[in-house]
Chain A
Amino acid sequence: MINILTTHWSDFVHGFGITLLSSIIALIISMILGTGFAILEIVPNKLVNTIAHIYIQIFRNIPLLVVTMFFYVVVTQFVKMSGLVAGTIGLALYTSAFIAETVRAGILAVDKGQTEGARANGLTYWQTMRIIVLPQAFKIVIPPLGNQFINLVKNSSILAFVAGFDLMYQGNEIASTTFDTIDTYVVVGLFYLVITLPLSYYMRYLENKLA
């Protein structure tokens, strides 16, 4: 195991970097999109609600691989994109649907009296949402959000299917050239833990601090 790590160190590190980069970009985009669609799903406008609902249902119920392949082989004919870009977009859209549902649950869990009190004190709908409801909603949904983030990092292995040069792609290549299958995938697993373990402990810390 040590042997495979030292002989292919630069490949692993390169793959690790791509996985980390793709995860961070996808996390930021999916957080923004997810929060946006969560709000759109509950604003008092039926048309907007329906549009947000359709978006969420589409990306939540189609396998990530299909979404990613769609961008890699179909969208690329109109807008040129590499496997890394296609994979990251697929990952961001897919995760945003789950984050939207999570955040929506958080918003609905905030006591109705909070909104009523804020509106009675003269805040507008958007001010109430931004200053009163959303901060409390995020606090409530930190544990499920943490799950989504960890899933996102693990799901980034989708890049391997569209030649995105991520950790899993490098792992597949090393395994198939050295035939040292088990050791290679153990190392790949350890590299994923390097991202996901600190992430899960950080989410736990946030949960304790803010609760």
Chain B
Amino acid sequence: MPVRKYKLFGLVTFLMLMLLTLSACGNETALTKQNEYDKVNTSKQMVWGVKADTRLFGLMNIKTGKIEGFDVDMAKEITKRIDPKAKPVFVQVTSQTRIPLLKNGNIQAIIATMTGTPERAKIVDFSKPYFNAGQSLLVVKGSKIKDVNDLNHKGVTVLGTVGSNSVINIKKVAPKAHVLQLQDYAQALTALKSGQGDALTTDNGILYGMSEQNPTTRVVGGTFTKEPYSVAIDKNQAELKNAINKAIAAIHKDGTYDRLVKKWFSNVPGFNWRTLLND
């Protein structure tokens, strides 16, 4: 009997040690980071993290197997301006996986409907904003909810996605509302349509994409925050960051930006795409 007990104790101790070692790995930051800007120029490719479930920004086209959207086109244009010979490579990310993937070095930059918040800026670096986003609400046609003030009541359920900034925001703006966090936008939209929540909240651009595809839903109340999207890169990559900023400025200057905004947002019903061009 005592022998068995020792064995058990030994096993548990071993497991704990394994876990501690594993968690220590996560805190390891002393790894020497490569210069990602040089890497783009030598490997002739730039690895981008993009969404693949977000209409108008990054959506997997099932016929071609390629991800398409405004973010993807921006990434192509930026890559072209950093190194004309470099090819953009797209890796599918979610709100949850994008920062870990960037920190691991699996991707070199994130262009995935991502707002540059001060909290995130402690972990990653952000370029200048490239899209005027703000938080808005999507409801089922005929809903009593007209704007964000209608949410701050007991019994109101708001849907969002795990890890998104809009969920943190809505908890501040409407503290009385019940917030459910789902895995992705498709699931959140399904939950809204099946009556699991009263409103779906996220950035305006994404909601317009949903509304375009689902005529039973409406975007209401306009935007109630200012959360422009930026490209995220790892810390200590000043060269890459400057190159991206320069590229974004050039895209604005030569009219490419207007062309891309028109391409993706001119078909959204009830939405004037030109408003996206003003600051």
Question: Measuring CB to CB, which residues of chain A are less than 8 angstroms from any residue of chain B?
Answer: 1, 72-74, 76-77, 80, 82-83, 160-163, 169, 172-173, 175-177, 179-183, 186, 189-190, 193
Contact = CB atoms under 8 A, between A and B. Distances in A.
Interface stretch (B186-194, B226-234, B256-264): B186-194
A176 B163 CA distance: 5
B13 interface: no
22 contacts: A1-B20, A1-B23, A72-B196, A73-B190, A73-B194, A73-B196, A83-B180, A83-B196, A161-B187, A163-B180, A163-B181, A163-B191, A163-B196, A175-B96, A177-B163, A179-B120, A181-B26, A181-B100, A183-B23, A183-B26, A186-B23, A189-B19
Contact of A77 (B25, B95, B195): B195
Given A1-B20, A182-B23, A172 B181 contact: yes
Nearest to B196: A76
Interface in B187-216: 187, 190-191, 193-196
Nearest to B167: A173
A160 B191 CA distance: 14
Contacts of A162: 182
B80 to A, nearest CB: 31
B47 to A, nearest CB: 20
Contacts of B27: 183
Nearest to A160: B183
A72 B197 CA distance: 12
Name the 10 nearest CB pairs between A and B, nearest first: A176-B163, A182-B26, A163-B180, A73-B194, A1-B23, A172-B162, A186-B23, A181-B100, A73-B190, A176-B96
B99 interface: yes
B168 interface: yes
Contacts of B23: 1, 182-183, 186
A172 B163 contact: yes
Contacts, number: 66
Interface centre among B15, B25, B187 (most CB of A within 10 A): B187
B183 A173 contact: no
A107 B120 CA distance: 58
A161 B196 CA distance: 13
Interface of B: 15, 19-20, 22-23, 25-27, 95-96, 99-100, 120, 123, 162-163, 168, 180-183, 187, 190-191, 193-196
A176 B162 contact: yes
A196 to B, nearest CB: 12
A173 B162 contact: yes
A163 B180 CA distance: 6
Contacts of A83: 180, 196
Contacts of A180: 26
Contact of A179 (B99, B187, B191, B195): B99
Contacts of A179: 99-100, 120, 123
Nearest to B188: A163
A72 B195 contact: no
B163 A163 contact: no
A190 B22 CA distance: 13
B22 A182 contact: yes
Contacts of A173: 162-163, 181
A126 B162 CA distance: 51
B181 A169 contact: yes
Contact of B194 (A74, A172, A177, A181): A74
Given A76-B196, A80-B195, 7 more contacts: A163-B196, A173-B163, A176-B96, A179-B99, A179-B120, A181-B26, A189-B19
Nearest to B161: A176
A166 to B, nearest CB: 12
A172 B120 CA distance: 16
Contacts of A193: 15
Contact of A73 (B120, B123, B162, B191): B191
Nearest to B193: A73
